[in-house]
Chain A
Amino acid sequence: MAAPAATRPLGLGPIGLSGWDGLDPARTRGRGWRDLWRSYRTAVRLGWEIEANWTDPLLFFVHSIAQPVSSALILIVMLEIVGGAASREFRGYVVTGSALWSIVISGVGGLAWSVLDDRETYRMLRYLYVSPSDFLVVLLGRGTARIAIGAMGASITLAVGIALLGIPFDPGRVNWPLLAVSMVLGLAAIVAGGVLMAAVCLHARQEAWSYPEAAAGALFLVTGAVFPLAVLPSAVQLVGLAMPITWWLAAVRLALFPDGPSSLAGTGTAWAALAGPVPPDAGQTLLALLVTGALGVLAAAIVFRASERRAKDRGLLDQTTGS
């Protein structure tokens, strides 16, 4: 008859190693959400350190705002050159879109750049992958730090627009609940875009640094970021209406500038053909953002898991490239 487990000497596991009490299956399963949260928090901190501690705070601040402010200034000069009433009307429109775009770029690029950084520069991707932390959670944490920097750039660009470029802004007229809900839903959709780009970059070579910005640039065309969708061909407008970022931008504009021009409505637009000449209200905009965003998140999760399996199968997680 076998001896009961309780009689086994403490500190000597099944193979007789001192200080090891045998395999605890619960440790391999982890502690669920607590472990995920801890991984996420650590990844956010690591991401922030990588992004922020490379220089002094002043240069970091300049670096964070230079890109979005310059993008906005390019558009402002374009408006000024053409002149006319349209340019004055569009000033708030383009500054808002341009400012928010820094969040899109940092969100779409953040996760992908983390993959490339860890694989090509720091060569830590393989270790991160085999660590007990969930790989996707680690990437999300790293991406969060970049989104925070993008959000800082967006806020300062908006502030510059209001303070120096004469954009009419009344805090009393801002629809704060709409702004809060649209930001939450919009950020989820943007992060989904980041997960998709990370899935692509798991399979791309070192020079894929520019891929996220290229992808974001293509979205720039179809989402009405700096011009109304009405000027695009109808088929392209339909593509834009399927993008959650289009609805996020529309919702934020509606919340910040309730009387500003709509990016979706207008004579002959795809929106007018689908729903009539009246621009979408806050409820319709949020509903569309929710539906398209949920589909985007689902697609991103499926594509990322498939990409991860393929990368693991082909040994791409620890492969460095170069050209």
Chain B
Amino acid sequence: MTGTPARSAWVGRPTAGPREAAVWSTRRRVVTELRAVRGRAYPRLNGLFREKSWLLFEILLPFLTTSAFVFVYRALEAPAEYVGFVVLGGAMTAFWLDVIWMMAHQLYLEKHQGNLELYFTAPVDLMSVLFGMAVGGLVISSLRAIVALVVGTAVYGVTFSVTHWLLLAAVFVLTLASIYGLGMILASLFLMWGREAWHLTQLLTEPIYFVSGLNFPVGRLGLLGALAVATIPLAVGLDAMRQLAFSGAPSFGTPPPEIEALILVGMTVVYLAVARFSLGVLERLARREGRLTLRWQ
């Protein structure tokens, strides 16, 4: 035998053995992670074209729910900007629902489908898989949000008064980043909690809507609102967008949008870091104990 490495069965280059074959170049790692994102987003996007019912149930009907709150304000003869609050809140719920139903709850479902063990054994980061889910889900939730904003504006005559478009766009992107970061943390927690996941998902809708000030300025909740602004990205993002989209509307003592944008930056960094840590713990537990990925556990 000569010392020249043979062409490897594991990778398309000559290697001395599996250990050497497992050492990937940075380019290869990045390309594989991007493929994982695309691969996980694909079934979600493709599913849209196979199942048309989502157009009715995930776009039209939720808009009617938002409309119900518009009519509550109309019944009370509230000022026009309050109707705008409801429309903006209705648009942002699309992203929150996407995070809790199609990301936080998803790993638990994947476990029952038998996909989770494949994710752990595949040579990709679990965050890439979750990011792929987010990209796929974002298409649906963005459509829903756009419909809520456009139709809400047209039907209910909402007038936006934006002075800082750039800041508004930045706050929107930061809100999404921090919400999806939180979703990744919840995905790992829900997986560890098991069957409670479904129930906890439900617990994260109406109570979070309330403390986030979905249809009203969150500052109206006093200390509870302040706590929400400090911890829940939906609350701080909505409040900042509300202040930016309806200049002159009452804020009830919440920080100015510039400060809230900084809070969102902090939340994004912290939530993504915690998500990375918790997913790492999850992966270690899955490999060491071998139970985490098994169905019915």
Q: Which residues of A contact B (CB under 8 A)?
A: 54-55, 63, 66-68, 70-71, 73-75, 77-82, 84, 86-87, 90, 94, 120-121, 123, 200, 203-211, 214-215, 217-218, 220-222, 225-228, 230-232, 320, 322-323
Kindly identify which residue among A71, A200, A214, A225 contacts B206, using a CB–CB cutoff of 8 Å. Answer: A71
Task: Report how far A68 CA is from B209 CA in the complex, Å.
Answer: 12
Task: Report how far A231 CA is from B65 CA in the complex, Å.
Answer: 15
- A120:B207 contact, CB within 8 angstroms: no
Taking the closest CB of chain A, its distance from the CB of B242, in whole angstroms, is 13
For the complex, count residues of B whose C-beta is within 8 A of A: 54
Q: Would you call B97 an interface residue if the criterion is a C-beta within 8 Å of the partner chain's C-beta atoms?
A: yes
- A207:B54 contact, CB within 8 angstroms: yes
- B54:A63 contact, CB within 8 angstroms: no
- B72:A78 contact, CB within 8 angstroms: yes
Taking the closest CB of chain A, its distance from the CB of B37, in whole angstroms, is 15
| B105 surroundings in chain A (CB, below 8 A) | 209
Which B residue's beta carbon lies closest to that of A87? B76
Listed A/B pairs (8) with beta-carbon separation below 8 Å: A54-B199, A67-B205, A74-B206, A78-B73, A80-B220, A208-B53, A209-B101, A214-B58
Within 8 A of A (CB), among B36-64: 43-44, 46-47, 50-51, 53-54, 57-58, 60-62, 64
How many A-B pairs have beta carbons closer than 8 Å: the answer is 142
Which A residue's beta carbon lies closest to that of B51? A205
- A121:B109 contact, CB within 8 angstroms: yes
- B47:A74 contact, CB within 8 angstroms: no
Q: Which residues of B contact A (CB under 8 A)?
A: 43-44, 46-47, 50-51, 53-54, 57-58, 60-62, 64-65, 67-69, 71-78, 82, 97, 101-102, 105, 109-110, 112-113, 115, 136, 195-196, 199, 202-203, 205-207, 209-210, 213-217, 220-221
Taking the closest CB of chain A, its distance from the CB of B62, in whole angstroms, is 6
| B53 surroundings in chain A (CB, below 8 A) | 200, 203-204, 208, 211
Given contacts A66-B203, A70-B206, A81-B216, contact A210 B101 (CB under 8 A): yes
Taking the closest CB of chain B, its distance from the CB of A161, in whole angstroms, is 15
- B209:A70 contact, CB within 8 angstroms: yes
Which B residue's beta carbon lies closest to that of A51? B199
Which B residue's beta carbon lies closest to that of A75? B72
Kindly identify which residue among B64, B78, B221 contacts A218, using a CB–CB cutoff of 8 Å. Answer: B64
- B65:A214 contact, CB within 8 angstroms: yes
Task: Report how far A184 CA is from B110 CA in the complex, Å.
Answer: 40
- B72:A217 contact, CB within 8 angstroms: no
| B44 surroundings in chain A (CB, below 8 A) | 323
Kindly identify which residue among B51, B82, B113 contacts A82, using a CB–CB cutoff of 8 Å. Answer: B82
Task: Report how far A209 CA is from B201 CA in the complex, Å.
Answer: 11
- A221:B51 contact, CB within 8 angstroms: no
Kindly identify which residue among A55, A73, A204 contacts B210, using a CB–CB cutoff of 8 Å. Answer: A73
Taking the closest CB of chain B, its distance from the CB of A70, in whole angstroms, is 4
- A232:B58 contact, CB within 8 angstroms: no
- B57:A211 contact, CB within 8 angstroms: yes
Taking the closest CB of chain A, its distance from the CB of B41, in whole angstroms, is 10
Taking the closest CB of chain B, its distance from the CB of A58, in whole angstroms, is 13
| B109 surroundings in chain A (CB, below 8 A) | 120-121, 206, 322
| B199 surroundings in chain A (CB, below 8 A) | 54-55, 63
Which A residue's beta carbon lies closest to that of B196? A54
- B46:A86 contact, CB within 8 angstroms: no
Given contacts A75-B72, A78-B69, A215-B61, contact A55 B196 (CB under 8 A): yes
Task: Report how far A231 CA is from B72 CA in the complex, Å.
Answer: 9
| B69 surroundings in chain A (CB, below 8 A) | 78
Taking the closest CB of chain A, its distance from the CB of B191, in whole angstroms, is 14
Task: Report how far A86 CA is from B78 CA in the complex, Å.
Answer: 11
Taking the closest CB of chain B, its distance from the CB of A206, in whole angstroms, is 7
Task: Report how far A224 CA is from B59 CA in the complex, Å.
Answer: 22
- B57:A214 contact, CB within 8 angstroms: yes
- A217:B62 contact, CB within 8 angstroms: yes
Taking the closest CB of chain A, its distance from the CB of B140, in whole angstroms, is 9
Task: Report how far A78 CA is from B71 CA in the complex, Å.
Answer: 12
Taking the closest CB of chain B, its distance from the CB of A245, in whole angstroms, is 13
Which A residue's beta carbon lies closest to that of B296? A122
Kindly identify which residue among A206, A214, A320, A323 contacts B136, using a CB–CB cutoff of 8 Å. Answer: A323
Task: Report how far A214 CA is from B205 CA in the complex, Å.
Answer: 13
Task: Report how far A75 CA is from B205 CA in the complex, Å.
Answer: 15
| A121 surroundings in chain B (CB, below 8 A) | 109, 112
| B47 surroundings in chain A (CB, below 8 A) | 205, 207, 323
Given contacts A77-B221, A207-B101, A214-B58, contact A67 B206 (CB under 8 A): yes
| B203 surroundings in chain A (CB, below 8 A) | 63, 66-67
| A82 surroundings in chain B (CB, below 8 A) | 73, 76-78, 82
